[in-house]
């Protein structure tokens, strides 16, 4: 038997006494105990801020992203031990894969986001805003890491995924975390956190762990802290309404279990692939993790003339389900996480039975393979039938957090939307249809009450990630009952841990702060040419003022011949009446091409390649006789890591290409991206 410990203020410590006894969900055997009594939560908060926060804020987004990547690779190498412990929670191999490798996948996904942030410790948000006529006063926005702590209170169903999907985001943002998993499955979280701490990949103080009940873990949060809660809506709302949470305007993200729905389109009749896909998806949502998912389908909404067909098909598929010890390869569904959870689910089943009838499953009579169903936390899948979901409404209020779902009829698509929305807000809904008009109408009408809508049909089923799988780069959360929160979501999620601040000043000052060139800032002439300088030698604002070129009629004709672009405004003087052009106009892409000819230094040097153009605009017609010049300015520098030891050390440099005429007025503008060697090829 093991005493599972907390990691607090740089040490592994046991709580006082025993708060929770821990049991193997399959065998019922006691595997350990845990407690968080006596932890110094105020001290843990200070430790996180003083140690972890300061260290993380010194790192750039690039460095923090690479840290997450290194951690993900490290955990993958150690995944075998996590699978072994995960089985104690009642999880099958597939269940564990979702939790363990799905969680690690969150680290990889967030690590890749480093490329969407500047190579700075803070983020530059959006574009500059002109605030004065003369251009000497502008505004911008930056987003800096909050000087607080992220406290994550997680549910029992995903002890790994729940932790990793949250800390991946706050760590990339530069904010330390205190993780409080459910006391019932904290033993799996503790095993992984020990490896994370031993790896020393994260700065000390970046991650702390609370096992046990964690009473008092959010007592000391303030305005710079963030609390996330995953679990029951009732508990989450109580925590969110605590006086000091409200008074200090503490950021509180609530992601609550919800009554998610799956809708069968009227076109998906028996005999179609879509009908079979629907039945398979529902069966999977009932049995994966034994239905213990905040995203599981609780309400099966089908055309009123197909209720019997769906009931028969789903029952037939569930008949093939096998329940028992996940170590037996024939087992397809494990147990619930605890016997307490079984009792809670049964209590809610009794509430639902008052209005609707069970059409599949038996709470007492079912077979279990390789285990004693009385000792383990086993349960049969249960399917209800509700013949009038508008009047028999308990199904829209009561959630059985297990392998339980309800079939209900709808008359038309408008009715299906109403029924789906009667859940008062969900994390996800699915509609199975190959009719894009049906899909569009459902999505547009239902989106207001669902955090994610999964449109499934035979065209995407093979690669679909499924109804119940939130993806790291898409938002996870939902309105109303689902908590009104938002997790993950790629860059959107990271911004929850950043403070957006408006900054105002002279363009040169804003350039210095943002490390992005702003119009009106100094443009010292580059010496030598910027293409002769290595990545480290370049400074934001350095500018090449090119030689000039006067556009001729031959330029326009030759470019039309080479490009094949014979648009009338370039080649036909007689067609210009009624247009904005006074005479034949040079091709915009000729102007850009000529600009490249002007700003490029052709000799071999540190510039490895030009690989793209952003934000290209042609702002003023260029006629024959116009004299073109280019102001070619270092706009932004982004460090780039080496892929391997043989890779060339390099960085990405964005150059502003400001094309202007003899009056000095800009006629075209673009940003080009170049790859530039570093001086030190060993770095």
CA 20 to chain CA centroid, Å, is 33
What residues are paired with 404 via a beta bridge? 382
Burial of 133: CB neighbours in 10 Å, binned 0-12, 13-18, 19+: exposed
Q: What span, in angstroms and rounded, lies between the C-alpha atoms of 624 and 547?
A: 18
**Do the bridges between strand 498-505 and strand 138-145 make them parallel or antiparallel, or are there none, so unpaired?**
antiparallel
Residues near 291 by beta carbon (within 8 Å), at least 6 away in sequence: 285, 381, 400, 401, 402, 403, 404, 405
Give the HSE-up count for residue 281: Cα atoms under 13 Å, Cβ half-sphere: 34
Residues near 503 by beta carbon (within 8 Å), at least 6 away in sequence: 139, 140, 141, 142, 510, 513
Torsion of CA 631, 637, 641, 647, to 10 degrees: 20
186 carries an active-site annotation: no
Helix (H, G, I), strand (E, B) or coil at 198: helix
Among 175, 422, 199, 194, smallest CA distance to 298 is for 422
Give the HSE-up count for residue 190: Cα atoms under 13 Å, Cβ half-sphere: 25
Phi/psi for 158 (5° steps) reads -135, 80
Burial of 329: CB neighbours in 10 Å, binned 0-12, 13-18, 19+: exposed
For 312-369, the three-class secondary structure string (H helix, E strand, C coil) is: HHHHHHHHCCCEECCCCCCCCECCCCCHHHHHHHHHHHHHHHCCCEEEECCCCCCCCE
Question: Could you tell me where the DSSP H helices lie in 430-490?
Answer: 436-446
Distances (CA, A) of 434 to 265, 448, 499: 8, 22, 43
Helix (H, G, I), strand (E, B) or coil at 505: strand
Among 373, 376, 422, 425, smallest CA distance to 395 is for 422
The answer to whether residues 396 and 355 touch, using CB atoms and an 8 Å cutoff, is no
Tokens of 114: 């480093």
Of 190, 294, 355, 487, the catalytic one is: 294
294 carries an active-site annotation: yes
Residues near 42 by beta carbon (within 8 Å), at least 6 away in sequence: 219, 220
Q: What span, in angstroms and rounded, lies between the C-alpha atoms of 541 and 447?
A: 45
Tokens of 251: 């950021």
Dihedral sign from CA coordinates of 621, 624, 627, 631: positive
Of 255, 281, 399, 636, the catalytic one is: 255
Catalytic residues: 255, 294
């Amino acid at each position: 038997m093991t005493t599972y410990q907390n990691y607090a203020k740089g040490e592994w410590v046991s709580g006082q006494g025993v708060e929770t006894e821990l049991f193997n969900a399959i065998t019922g055997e006691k595997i350990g105990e845990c407690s968080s009594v006596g932890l110094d939560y105020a001290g843990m908060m200070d430790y996180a801020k003083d140690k972890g926060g300061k260290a993380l804020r010194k790192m750039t987004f690039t460095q923090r992203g690479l840290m997450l990547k290194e951690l993900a690779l490290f955990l993958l190498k150690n995944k075998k031990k996590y699978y072994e412990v995960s089985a104690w929670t009642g999880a099958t191999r597939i269940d564990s894969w979702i939790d363990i490798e799905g969680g690690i996948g969150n680290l990889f996904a967030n690590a890749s986001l480093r490329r969407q942030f500047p190579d700075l410790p803070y983020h530059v948000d959006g574009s500059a805003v002109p605030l004065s006529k003369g251009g000497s006063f502008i505004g911008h926005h930056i987003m800096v890491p909050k000087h607080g702590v992220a406290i994550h209170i997680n549910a029992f169903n995903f002890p790994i995924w729940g932790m990793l999907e949250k800390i991946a985001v706050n760590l990339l943002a530069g904010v330390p975390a205190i993780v409080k998993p459910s006391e019932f499955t904290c033993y799996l979280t503790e095993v992984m956190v020990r490896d994370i701490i031993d790896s020393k990949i994260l700065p000390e103080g970046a991650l702390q762990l609370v096992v046990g009940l964690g009473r008092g873990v959010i007592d000391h949060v303030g305005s710079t802290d963030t609390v996330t809660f995953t679990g029951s809506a009732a508990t989450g709302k109580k925590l969110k309404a605590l006086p000091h949470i409200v008074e200090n305007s503490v950021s509180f993200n609530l992601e609550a279990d919800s009554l998610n729905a799956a809708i069968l389109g009227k076109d998906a009749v028996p005999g179609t692939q879509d009908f079979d896909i629907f039945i398979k998806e529902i069966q999977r949502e009932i049995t994966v993790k034994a239905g213990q998912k905040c995203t599981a389908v609780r309400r099966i909404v089908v055309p009123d003339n197909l209720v019997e067909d769906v009931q028969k098909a789903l029952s037939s598929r569930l008949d093939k389900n096998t329940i028992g010890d996940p170590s037996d390869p024939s087992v397809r569904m494990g147990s619930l996480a605890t016997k307490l959870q079984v009792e809670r689910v049964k209590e809610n089943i009794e509430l639902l039975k008052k209005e609707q009838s069970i059409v599949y499953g038996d709470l007492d009579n079912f077979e279990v393979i390789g285990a004693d169903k009385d000792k383990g936390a086993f349960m049969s899948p249960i399917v209800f039938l509700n013949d009038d979901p508008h009047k028999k409404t308990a199904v829209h209020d009561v959630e059985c957090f297990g392998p339980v779902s309800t079939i209900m009829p709808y008359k038309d698509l408008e009715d299906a939307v109403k029924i789906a929305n009667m859940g008062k807000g969900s994390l996800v809904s699915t509609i199975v249809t190959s009719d894009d008009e049906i899909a569009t109408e459902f999505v547009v009408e239902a989106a207001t009450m669902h955090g994610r809508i999964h449109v499934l049909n035979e065209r995407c089923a093979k690669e679909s990630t499924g109804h119940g799988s939130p993806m790291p780069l898409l938002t996870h959360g939902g309105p109303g009952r689902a908590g009104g929160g938002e997790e993950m979501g790629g860059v959107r999620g990271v911004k929850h841990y950043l403070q957006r601040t408006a900054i105002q000043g002279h363009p040169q000052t804003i350039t210095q702060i943002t490390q992005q060139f702003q119009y009106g800032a100094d443009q010292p002439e580059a010496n030598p040419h910027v293409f002769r300088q290595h990545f480290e030698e370049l400074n934001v604002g350095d500018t090449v003022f090119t030689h000039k070129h006067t556009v001729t009629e031959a330029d326009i004709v030759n470019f039309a011949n080479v490009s094949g672009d014979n648009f009338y405004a370039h080649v036909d003087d007689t067609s210009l009446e009624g247009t904005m052009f006074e005479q034949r106009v040079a091709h915009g892409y000729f102007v850009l091409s000529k600009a490249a000819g002007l700003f490029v230094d052709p000799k071999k040097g540190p510039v490895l390649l030009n690989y793209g153009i952003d934000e290209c605009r042609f702002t003023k017609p260029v006629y024959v006789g116009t004299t073109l010049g280019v102001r070619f300015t270092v706009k932004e520098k982004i460090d780039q890591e080496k892929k391997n030891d043989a890779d060339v050390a390099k960085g990405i440099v964005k150059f502003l290409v400001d094309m202007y005429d003899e009056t000095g007025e800009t006629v075209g503008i673009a940003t080009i991206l170049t790859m530039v060697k570093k001086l030190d090829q060993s770095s």
